[in-house]
Amino acid sequence: MRVLISGGGTGGHVYPALAVAARLRRPDAGAEAAEPHTLLWIGSTHGMERQLVERAGVAYRGIDTGQLRVNNPLTAVVNAGKMVRGLGQSLAAVDHFRPHVCFVTGGYVCAPVVLACRLRRVPVLIYLPDMVPGWAIRWLSRLAQRVAVTFPAAAAAFGGEVPQGKAVVTGYPVRAELVQAARDRQAARQTLARLLSWPELAQEDGLPLLLIWGGSLGARSINQATWQGVAELLPHARVLHIVGQRDWPLYQEWARDQWPPTHLSPEWTSRYRAVPYLHEEMAYALAAADLSVARAGASTLGEFPVARLPSVLVPLPIAGVNQARNAQELVRHGAAVMLEDGHLTDRLVPTLLALLADPQRRQAMAEALARLARPDAACAIARELGALGRAGT
């Protein structure tokens, strides 16, 4: 079967689709097809998805796209022109590749691709990772045959589950490497220590590993609160801080001018490690960590349960993104703690110290997470795609 894939803009739209792509390329006894499917990914010409998709070895075609919801009317007109060009390029790609089915995960680039598939009668499956869809996915879902969702509560936006509505609950597709790494935390920690050249991490000294990050782009407020409070955390934990590419120059400035503080011993100083971004190492970081601080992007709904990783979630306070609803879903199950962005400076360190000092609470959160885990989600979506591709529109 030929499967057209599209998703882009940020990592949160790319990694779930890559997990499904990996599944489609390596069918085994558990999968539907007897031989690997042929894949083509349509992303934007200059999008960050290009690097991630090519890194994974999936064929990539770039098209023109632009954000339509912008304040400047001139930009809106220019971007609308790009979208029209993108539709023409998508139609050409569909005519050339002749897909049996199309799979999209979000980002502006998906709009012309879904429209082209609709015009050429190619069935479309959308995956919505978040609990609440943005306006673009709501609109595109009208053109799609199926919408896969992470948890049952997300199905209502699409008329409920099949056969009444369009939704199927598959779970969040996580990378196979994470499923594998989460089976043995200790081994994951050893691997991470090797990949990051951080030998102290491999010591079995009972010191918890705290993973701090802010989504695929990094989060300024989380970074600043971390730099302000990290010295207080180091007597109780090792801290792996993914700063993000955008704020990396800020980290370098802070490290040059303010780190380490004179009162901190070299042993404690070496417990803090900052990195701009993690690629293949990310699966091991999630599996090895004992506690995380993160934004509440959709990945936390899938990756944290599989990794059984308790967290303090700090939803991005921007209208239209709706990360709070993602965080609430984990909090509702006793699987995470939520902190408002505006309270980071005062409350982040005390909240973390309380959780680090309470292994029983972390264990209860890990057990709640384990009940939400769907390590087979990529396979479930691959199966849905197979069924749609065989049925046609």
> What is the smallest separation between the CB atom of 146 and ligand UD1, expressed in angstroms?
18
Whose structure tokens read 């799979």?
Answer: 103
Whose structure tokens read 């969702």?
Answer: 149
DSSP 152-192: GGGGGGGTSBTTTSSEEE------HHHHHHTT-HHHHHHHH
Per the CB < 8 A criterion, the answer to whether 109 and 84 are in contact is: no
373 scored as a contact of ligand UD1 (CB under 6 A): no
Q: How far apart are CA 153 and CA 158, in angstroms?
A: 11
129 scored as a contact of ligand UD1 (CB under 6 A): yes
> What is the smallest separation between the CB atom of 199 and ligand UD1, expressed in angstroms?
21
**Site size for ligand UD1, by CB under 6 A?**
24
Selected from 4, 117, 243, 298, the binder of ligand UD1 by CB under 6 A is 298
> What is the smallest separation between the CB atom of 244 and ligand UD1, expressed in angstroms?
7
> What is the smallest separation between the CB atom of 320 and ligand UD1, expressed in angstroms?
9
> What is the smallest separation between the CB atom of 384 and ligand UD1, expressed in angstroms?
19
> What is the smallest separation between the CB atom of 182 and ligand UD1, expressed in angstroms?
13
Structure tokens at 181: 């790494």
Which amino acid does the sequence have at 246?
Answer: R
- Comparing CB distances to ligand UD1, the nearer of 24 and 274 is 274
Which amino acid does the sequence have at 250?
Answer: L
Q: How far apart are CA 393 and CA 385, in angstroms?
A: 12
Tell me whether strands 101-104 and 2-6 are parallel, antiparallel or unpaired. parallel
20 scored as a contact of ligand UD1 (CB under 6 A): no
- Comparing CB distances to ligand UD1, the nearer of 8 and 386 is 8
Q: How far apart are CA 283 and CA 392, in angstroms?
A: 35
- Comparing CB distances to ligand UD1, the nearer of 268 and 277 is 277
- Contact positions with ligand UD1 (CB under 6 A) in 312-351: 316, 321, 323
> What is the smallest separation between the CB atom of 251 and ligand UD1, expressed in angstroms?
13
Selected from 242, 293, 306, 336, the binder of ligand UD1 by CB under 6 A is 242
φ, ψ for residue 191, nearest 5 deg: -65, -45
Q: Determine the interface stretch with ligand UD1 among 38-46, 65-73, 290-298, 356-364 (rule: CB under 6 A).
A: 290-298
Per the CB < 8 A criterion, the answer to whether 98 and 91 are in contact is: no
Q: How far apart are CA 348 and CA 293, in angstroms?
A: 9
Selected from 7, 8, 11, 43, the binder of ligand UD1 by CB under 6 A is 11
What one-character DSSP code corresponds to residue 199? Answer: G
Q: Which of 209, 210, 214 is nearest to 341 (CA)?
A: 214
- Comparing CB distances to ligand UD1, the nearer of 112 and 244 is 244
43 scored as a contact of ligand UD1 (CB under 6 A): no
- Contact positions with ligand UD1 (CB under 6 A) in 195-224: 213, 215-217
Sheet with 101-104, edge to edge strand ranges: 60-63, 38-44, 2-6, 101-104, 124-128, 146-149, 167-169
- 3-state secondary structure (DSSP) of residue 224: helix
> What is the smallest separation between the CB atom of 54 and ligand UD1, expressed in angstroms?
15
Q: Determine the interface stretch with ligand UD1 among 6-14, 29-37, 68-76, 201-209 (rule: CB under 6 A).
A: 6-14
Q: Give the DSSP H/E element, type plus range, for residue 87.
A: helix 73-97
277 scored as a contact of ligand UD1 (CB under 6 A): yes
Per DSSP, which regions of 16-82 are E strands? 38-44, 60-63
49 scored as a contact of ligand UD1 (CB under 6 A): no
- Comparing CB distances to ligand UD1, the nearer of 67 and 75 is 67
Alpha carbon 170 to its chain centroid, in Å, reads 16
> What is the smallest separation between the CB atom of 85 and ligand UD1, expressed in angstroms?
24
92: CB partners within 8 A, 6+ apart = none
130 scored as a contact of ligand UD1 (CB under 6 A): yes
Annotated binding site: 10-12, 175, 216, 323
Interface residues toward ligand UD1, by CB under 6 A = 10-13, 15, 106, 129-130, 213, 215-217, 242, 277-278, 282, 295, 297-299, 303, 316, 321, 323
